[in-house]
Amino acid sequence: DADEADLYRRIEVAKETLGDRVVVLGHYYQRDEIVAHADFVGDSFQLANAALTRPDAEAIVFCGVHFMAETADILAREDQQVILPNLAAGCSMADMADEDSVEEAWLDLAEAYGFDPEGSDDPADYPGGKLPVVPVTYMNSSAALKAFCGRHGGIVCTSSNARTVLEWAFERGERVLFFPDQHLGRNTAKAMGVPLEQMPMWNPRKPLGGNDEATLQAATVILWHGFCSVHRRFTTAQIDKARAEYPGVQVVVHPECPMPVVDAADAAGSTELIRQFVADAEPGSVIAIGTEVNMVNRLAAQHPDKTIFCLDPVICPCSTMYRIHPGYLAWVLEGLVAGETHNRIEVDDDVARHARTALERMLAAAP
């Protein structure tokens, strides 16, 4: 409609005026009207790298959610401005692990495993040359939690490198505390051969996370109780239905889906893996996808020679990703043209320093 066309034009005019001074990054879950203006579109790992590839730009406008913009600010040049067009674009999963709860869990674990919670993060200082617990945070977490991992010998992972990161962690430690997403942690560790009995859940509201001593002693991966409300909706019944209706259908899902769903799928991986899976499929293929619907619909439009649909028949957008409306993108870009910065995301220096340590470990372990 006319309003949409006007916004499209305003965004393009502002971008053209700004030229190389600005780079617009867009996550795959963004709506089409945003993706149309993005200089880079990718999964959360690719976008973290994209932030590094444009040190010449004065501003990085991040069309994604808050933790992604924070990560860009941590990795960006110091005077580069990172902008989140709508500050209300958070991630409910990231909010499920707060710093205080994780700090408390760390104290409990230190007592259970008999280590100094503020002790050395060098494995060589521990019996057997291994840290008692290595904290691993999913990218979908606050900068404070990435900093926590940086301070305690831990690391960050994304859905595209979780396995490589867990291998890194197991080399350095006896066990892993994985947060916030229980499903990514469980699915990845299971694929690596860790038995389910060795993956207790940690409920921060209960003493010892709701576990007994024996369970904790046997633990290899301690899983935080977080989850993604979008990916939690996918079920094996939906997969059964798709297989019944479309014999030969291929099912690909995001690893934030519950374990039975990942087990029943033909493939699981990050949004980039899903994109690649669709691109590589033969013409005429039928593909059912378990991830955010904006991305699924875009893939369907990009591949008219394939039948592509979302496993969840009820629309399942990520409501916070959707909060990046073109109106906000126009507003922040026009602000930059006028010399005004709106919605800058700035991580505190001390937090950023430690968070960078954990992010750099990830970039080194899984380039």
State the residues that interact with ligand 13P by CB under 6 A: 43-45, 140, 158-159, 228, 254, 256, 270-271
Q: Which does 366 bind (CB under 5 to 8 A by kind): ligand SF4, ligand 13P, none?
A: none
- Report residue 180 as tokens: 């916030």
Choices 199-207, 262-270, 280-288, 318-326 (CB under 6 A): range interacting with ligand SF4: 318-326
> Is 310 labeled as ligand-binding?
no
Asked whether 266 and 155 are in contact (CB, 8 A), the reply is no
**Cα–Cα distance, 13 to 23 (Å, whole number):** 14
Torsion of CA 332, 333, 338, 342, to 10 degrees: 20
Would the annotation count 27 as a binding residue? Answer: yes
Q: How many CB atoms lie within 10 A of CB 330?
A: 21
- Answer yes or no: are the C-beta atoms of 88 and 65 closer than 8 Å: no
Least Cβ distance, residue 20 to ligand 13P (angstroms): 26
Residue 43 interacting entry, from ligand SF4, ligand 13P, none, C-beta within 5 to 8 Å by type: ligand 13P
- Cβ closest to ligand SF4, residue 92 vs residue 235: 92
270 contributes a contact to ligand SF4 by CB under 6 A: no
Task: Please pick, from the candidates 83, 93, 257, 274, the single residue that binds ligand SF4 as defined by CB under 6 A.
Answer: 93
Distance CA 85, CA 30 (A): 12
Distances (CA, A) of 118 to 88, 111, 168, 204: 34, 12, 21, 20
- Helices 162-172, 349-365: axis angle to 10 degrees equals 100
Q: Rounded to the nearest whole angstrom, what is the least distance from the CB of residue 256 to ligand SF4 in the complex?
A: 6
Q: Tell me the site size for ligand SF4, rule CB under 6 A.
A: 13
Q: Does 228 bind ligand SF4 (CB under 6 A)?
A: yes
Binding residue for ligand SF4 (CB under 6 A) from 84, 165, 230, 274? 230
Q: Which residue has the tokens 């800058």?
A: 344
Q: Check: CB of residue 287 under 8 Å from CB of residue 303.
A: no
End-to-end Cα spacing for the chain: 43
Nearer to ligand SF4, 150 or 180 (CB): 180
Query: What residue ranges bind ligand SF4 (CB under 6 A)?
Result: 65, 91-93, 140, 228-230, 256, 292, 318, 320-321
Annotated binding residues, as ranges?
Answer: 27, 44, 91, 138-140, 159, 228, 254-256, 271, 318
Bind-site residues for iminosuccinate: 27, 44, 138-140, 159, 254-256, 271
